[in-house]
Structure formats: structure tokens, C-alpha cells
Amino acid sequence: PLLKSTSHSLLLGVSIFVPSSQLSPAQLARIEENRRAALQRLAARNVEVPIGESWREKIGAEFTKGYFTELAAFIADERKHFTVYPSPEHVFSWTHMCAIEDVKVVVLGQDPYHGPGQAHGLCFSVPKPTAPPPSLENIYAELSTDMKGFQHPGHGDLSGWAKQGVLLLNAVLTVRAHKPMSHTERGWETFTDAVVWWLSRNLRGLVFLLWGSYAQKKGSIIDRMRHHILQTSHPSPYSADRGFFGCHHFSKTNELLRKSGRKPIDWNAL
């Protein structure tokens, strides 16, 4: 007899049937090996990934590489056994906010929020009506002193910034529920490095906001002759008073954009 098929996927449903009868350890091991191989074959196919079209044109080749095949198989297995955030349709939501050529500002985060109802594909952001987490509250606090007229929006959804060309990119795009950093070193860092590398090599005058040592390390691949780098401590309550408060990164970002002939960000548009 066969158990009901279970859908597990990073980006789409993948069904694998598992026998429910009594099997020897060797048979179970063989089934597990075959299951993983099947997941890798499915992930390797040219399956539609829910990524914005302009982004697909520029970085879509990453999906055909071996590391991404292994990553997809890992996430599929994680989704089978655990709750994983964000939901599959939100993993690449950052690519649907603006075209890749329209990116003006890049904020690098680490990995998604690991609690229910929080992660939705944009670093530091949470969907309405979820209350802003502490780091985002500190971002709002800095904005209130840096940008005249800024008002706390009463929510934590930063989609309004993303639609203006602020790329809110986590280095790792998924996480197991209640297990921060649980999906690190599985391939996401390679993928998001490829995103940053493409932006750095093909666009000019971007403003990269690197908050904390992790983001600053990831930002080492940015061409600093072509782009602007603003860096300080992370807005976390544990480090915000070590440089983030008073950094004026939001007004500095807009001044740099104006100098390059670009429209500044309306930080109030949330």
C-alpha cells in the first residue's frame, strides 16, 4: 500500500510516494536514496520558478547549476518534514517589486524571520497587520530623526520601498520555523552572491546599505568604484546604539541618488 502523496517543494509541488509496509533498514535506506535522487532530478528540470521576468533574463542561469539543484532538493525535503518560511510563493517576492534594471538601493539582510506570519520575502519587512519586529522599529526610529516629516506607518510592510527600487535582499531566502540560520550554507548564499555580483557589474551608482558585519562581509564583492557603500552596525536592539542610531543613511542615500540624477526614495511611502 502507498501513503497519500505529499507535496514538498521550494518553488512548486513535488509528489513522492513512500511505501507504508514493513521494510528492512537496507530497503528504507535505498528508498531514501532514490527519493533524494528523484527530488534532485525534478529540481534540475527547467521548471518555472516564480521569479520576476527581468530577473529571470539576467540571473535565470543560476537555476540550472548544480548547487541550485541540491538546494532545491534540500528545501523540498525540509518542507516535507518541517514548517519553512516564507511560503513558496513569497521566496522570490523581491523580484516582483521592481525590474532588475530599476534597482537603486540595496539593503542586505541575513535570513528570514522564523516566526509565523512574519517572513514574506523582503528583509526586515513583515506583512500587514504583523507588528514591526524590534530591528524594524529601530529602523523607523532612525528614520524619524533622519528624515523630516517621517511618520511611523503603524505596520511593518516595506513593499512601498521595494516598489521604488529598494532591493531588500536576505543572503539566505528560507528558514525552518523557530530555527534561525537553519538554512545557511546550503546554497542560498551562492545564489544571492550572484544577484549582488550582477547588480555590481552591470549597473552604476547603486547605494548599498550594509548594516552589521554579516552584510559587510557579503558586500565585499561589490565594485566600490562603481557604487556607493554606506555601512554601520545592525539595527538590532543589541547593536543599534553602536552606530546605527545617528547614521543618517536614509538622507545620505537620497543625496547620493540626487547627485546621480535619480529620483530619491520616498521613505514615507509605506
**Residues labelled catalytic:** 111
Q: How far apart are CA 188 and CA 169, in angstroms?
A: 11
* DSSP for 64-88, written as a single string: GSHHHHHHHHHHHHHHHHS-EES-G
First CA to last CA distance, the chain: 53
Q: How far apart are CA 54 and CA 101, in angstroms?
A: 8
Bridge-based pairing state of the strands 175-176 and 84-85: antiparallel
Cell numbers that stand for 107 in this block: 539593503
Angle between helices 25-44 and 66-81 (to 10 degrees): 120
